[in-house]
């Protein structure tokens, strides 16, 4: 098992997906059919397996370094990046008018899963580039679009996202970085930013830092959060952007995570002053879908490794006979099935959310766009968090299947776990995704996001061909509606995470229901079996999460009785 089988599974998901069928129908001349999908996703798989995966294995041990104020990347990064750029992979979903391919996000996400399967650290570089391009295309001035979009899309220039600061990571209102207008229309940006992926490198000749800062009125001193594009180089001279340090991290070693200082650096306002946060949301959609692709890539790689190892490792069996492959043992089969089913619904979740995001922008009818937008609002926090946690879970299970071998660097299972562990943290922690889902998507906006999901899920339930799977999913839906009735605004923050977990189990149960109906080929039967198994696992897990939601404030009732001093 490997990249070729992953390509087949990705194509099978897209071909069977109603949302992608609608995307294809809206662009009949673009030919997003099965042969096209096999060609482009297959090309991504070949590059991932042939170039990126070998680099990722080597670079994990070497990492990056700060030398004379500049980031030095791991050996081989430039060669792998050159192959990536030459294939046009920096512009898969970029606007055609600026040199991009204009492909659906769903096709991009399928390719992105393969690149992240090979090396999620490598995949950290192109993601902010395409997400910055989204924001510039939507909010940048004509001159900014003309200057930056062709170069971000062709990979000659890079980009970063600079939001977090010390003591103000997710607490955006406390950001202190400031921007003061200059006489020539530029702004002077001053402050300290941290957790900046690829904050400095020489893969691209110029980096555009997308900086969230307070645009300070020189008279009143009032500050509003605005978005600025701060180039690393202006007219061949380095801007006043300084790399303070590279973080020493658990994983993603070939991705330099930098702390940056902006010392009166020249930048340009993106869009409307004071609208930095809403404008960033266009970028955040892409970032969260990319975390989903990272999770799917790692989860799939870990599950595949576990199955391959278990089919070859021999131990146990009858004392009077030869040892048998460990995949013949019941407990190992339990772990293998759980990991494979989780990885498959993770893949389906990312692709579905990506196709829905395509419909939000491609549907010609305003009502259809709005419907897709509501469904995407439901799927985004679930996709980001479930896929992130699935990567951790599957990597952990792979280590367990491999036993002591999985704990050593001879096998990649421990690297998968190290790389995966940050996924539930960045781009909004699990708790933040839970609050977003519960407070905004369920209790807020008249619950339109949840209703959009329920409407789509019930339609699929009524059309399901597998009656057993339909029964399992109907029970999941009932639990979700029961839990919604138990939510109250005063206790919702306490139970938001178990509600997110429940919603994730139900939503991936929806993906599994769709998979269970596939038939007619070996890959279809494979996906159907994994879908049924996930429904078998999801229902008892969902019952437990529903019980926690019902606890309300009792879930933290004992907190005051716990004494910090007693921890020693």
pLDDT tens for the chain, residues 1 to 568:
579 999 999 999 999 999 999 999 998 888 899 999 999 999 999 999 999 999 999 999 999 999 999 999 999 999 999 999 999 999 999 999 999 999 999 999 999 999 999 999 999 999 999 999 999 999 999 999 999 999 999 999 999 999 999 987 777 788 999 999 999 999 999 999 999 999 999 999 999 999 999 997 655 455 789 999 999 999 999 999 999 999 999 999 999 999 999 999 999 999 999 999 889 888 888 999 999 999 999 999 999 999 999 999 999 888 888 989 999 999 999 999 999 999 999 999 999 999 999 999 999 999 999 999 999 999 999 999 999 999 999 999 999 999 999 999 999 999 999 999 999 999 889 999 999 999 999 999 999 999 999 999 999 999 999 999 999 999 999 999 999 999 998 999 999 999 999 999 999 999 999 999 999 899 999 999 999 999 999 999 999 999 999 999 999 999 999 998 888 7
CA-to-CA distance for 471 and 128, rounded, in angstroms?
42
398 in a structural domain: no
In a domain, 319, yes or no: no
Look at residues 225, 250, 274 and tell me which one is the last residue of a structural domain: 274
The distance from CA 224 to its chain's CA centroid, rounded to whole angstroms, is: 29
For residue 185, the model assigns a pLDDT of: 93
Domains identified in the chain, total number:
3
Q: Which domain holds residue 85?
A: 3-153
d(CA 195, CA 486): 37
Q: Does 17 share its domain with 124?
A: yes
Q: Using alpha carbons, select from 118, 124, 127 the residue that is nearest to residue 58.
A: 118
Q: How far apart are CA 301 and CA 284, in angstroms?
A: 26
End of a domain among 153, 188, 211?
153
Alpha helices in 48-86 (DSSP H): 53-62, 77-86
Active site residues: 427
pLDDT of residue 437: 96
Contact in structure between 250 and 418 (CB atoms under 8 Å): yes
Distance between CA atoms of 549 and 538, rounded to whole angstroms?
16
Q: Is residue 306 part of a domain?
A: no
CA 115 – CA 110 distance, rounded (Å): 9
Q: Are 289 and 109 in contact (CB under 8 A)?
A: yes
Same domain, 205 and 114: no
Query: Are 32 and 143 members of one domain?
Result: yes
| Judgement on whether residues 149 and 165 belong to the same structural domain of the protein | no
CA distances from 454 to 21, 127, 285, 394 (A): 20, 31, 22, 28
End of a domain among 230, 247, 274?
274
- Give CA–CA dist 298/308, Å, rounded: 15
In a domain, 167, yes or no: yes
- From the list 469, 421, 437, 344, the residue with the least C-alpha distance to 120 is 421
**Residues near 60 by beta carbon (within 8 Å), at least 6 away in sequence:** 121, 253, 254, 415
Whether residue 222 is found in the same domain as residue 241: yes
Does residue 19 sit in the same domain as residue 90?
yes
CATH number, domain with residue 215: 2.40.110.20
**Do 7 and 149 fall within a single domain?**
yes
Residues 517 and 539 in one domain: yes
For 67, 71, 75, 117, 199, the CA distances from 242, given in Å and listed in that order, are 13, 11, 23, 32, 10
Q: What pLDDT sits at residue 316?
A: 87
Q: Which residues contact 46 (CB under 8 A, 6 or more apart)?
A: 3
Best CA proximity match to 400, nearest among 457, 465, 336:
336
Concatenating the DSSP letter of every residue in 226-278 gives EEEEEESEETTEE-SEEEEEE---SS-TTS-EEEEEEEEEEEEEESSTT-HHH
| Main-chain phi, psi angles of 235, to 5 degrees | 55, 40
Q: Which helix (H) or strand (E) holds 523?
A: helix 522-551
47 located within any domain: yes
Rounded Cα distance between 113 and 279, Å, is 26
Structural domain includes residue 248: yes
Residue 269 covered by a domain: yes
Handedness of CA 465, 469, 475, 477 (dihedral sign): negative
Does this model's pTM top 0.85? yes
Same domain, yes or no, for 147 and 199?
A: no
Q: Between helices 522-551 and 330-362, what is the axis angle to 10°?
A: 90
Q: Does residue 126 sit in the same domain as residue 260?
A: no
User: How many Cα atoms occupy the beta-carbon half-sphere of 28 within 13 Å?
Assistant: 1
What is the sign of the dihedral through the CA atoms of 241, 244, 247 and 252?
positive
Same structural domain for residues 102 and 171?
no
Residue 422 lies inside a defined structural domain of this protein: no
Domain at 40, CATH number: 1.10.540.10
Between β-strands 223-231 and 178-181, what pairing exists: parallel, antiparallel or unpaired? Answer: unpaired
Q: What is the 3-state secondary structure (H, E, C) of 373-416?
A: HHHHHHHHHHHHHHHHHHHHHHHHHHHHHHHHHHHCCCCCHHHH
- Domain check: are 84 and 122 in the same one? yes
CA distance 559 to 383: 31
């Amino acid at each position: 098992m490997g990249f070729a089988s992953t390509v087949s599974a990705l194509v099978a998901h897209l071909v069977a997906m109603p949302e992608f069928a609608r995307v294809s129908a809206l662009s009949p001349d673009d030919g997003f059919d099965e042969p096209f999908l096999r060609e482009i996703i297959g090309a991504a798989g070949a590059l991932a397996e042939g170039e990126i995966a070998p680099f990722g294995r080597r670079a994990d041990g070497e990492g990056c370094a700060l030398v004379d104020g500049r980031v030095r990347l791991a050996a081989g990064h430039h060669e792998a990046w050159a192959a990536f750029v030459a294939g046009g992979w920096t512009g898969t979903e970029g606007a055609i008018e600026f040199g991009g391919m204009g492909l659906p996000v769903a096709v991009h996400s399928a390719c992105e899963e393969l690149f992240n399967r090979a090396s999620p650290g490598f995949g950290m570089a192109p993601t902010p580039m395409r997400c910055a391009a989204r924001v510039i295309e939507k909010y940048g001035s004509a001159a900014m679009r003309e200057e930056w979009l062709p170069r971000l899309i062709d990979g000659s220039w890079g980009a970063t996202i600079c939001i977090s600061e010390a003591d103000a990571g997710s607490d955006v209102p406390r950001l202190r970085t400031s921007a003061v207008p200059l006489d020539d229309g530029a702004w002077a940006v001053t402050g300290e930013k941290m957790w900046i992926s690829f904050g400095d490198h020489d893969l691209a000749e110029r980096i555009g830092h997308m900086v969230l800062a307070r645009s300070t009125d020189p008279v009143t001193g009032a500050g509003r959060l605005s978005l600025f594009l701060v180039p690393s180089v202006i007219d061949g001279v380095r801007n006043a952007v300084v790399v303070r340090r590279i973080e020493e991290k658990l994983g993603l070693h070939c991705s330099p995570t930098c702390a940056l200082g902006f010392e009166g650096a020249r930048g340009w306002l993106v869009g409307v002053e004071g609208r930095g946060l809403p404008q960033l949301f266009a970028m955040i959609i892409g970032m969260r879908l990319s975390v989903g692709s990272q999770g799917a890539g790692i989860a799939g790689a870990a599950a595949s490794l576990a199955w391959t190892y278990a089919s070859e490792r021999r131990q146990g069996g009858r004392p009077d006979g030869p040892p048998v492959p460990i995949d013949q043992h019941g407990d190992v089969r339990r772990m293998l099935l759980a990991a494979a089913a989780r990885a498959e619904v993770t893949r389906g979740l990312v692709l579905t959310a990506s196709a829905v995001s395509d419909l939000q922008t491609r549907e010609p009818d305003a009502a259809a766009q709005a419907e897709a937008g509501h469904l995407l609002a439901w799927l985004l926090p679930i996709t980001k968090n479930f896929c992130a946690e699935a990567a951790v879970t599957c990597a952990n299970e792979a280590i367990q299947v491999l036993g002591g071998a999985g704990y050593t660097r001879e096998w990649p299972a421990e690297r998968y776990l190290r790389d995966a562990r940050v996924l539930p943290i960045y781009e909004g922690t699990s708790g933040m995704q839970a609050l977003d889902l519960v407070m905004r998507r369920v209790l807020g906006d008249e619950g339109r996001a949840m209703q959009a999901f329920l409407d789509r899920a019930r339609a699929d339930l009524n059309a399901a061909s597998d009656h057993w799977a339909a029964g399992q999913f109907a029970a999941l839906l009932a639990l979700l509606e029961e839990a919604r009735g138990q939510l109250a605004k005063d206790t919702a923050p306490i139970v938001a995470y178990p509600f997110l977990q429940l919603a994730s189990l139900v939503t991936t149960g929806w993906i599994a229901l769709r998979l269970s109906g596939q038939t007619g080929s070996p890959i279809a039967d494979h996906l159907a079996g994994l879908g049924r198994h996930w429904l078998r696992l999801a229902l008892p897990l969902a019952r437990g999460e529903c019980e926690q939601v019902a606890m309300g404030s009792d879930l933290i009732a004992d907190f005051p009785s716990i004494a910090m001093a007693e921890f020693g």
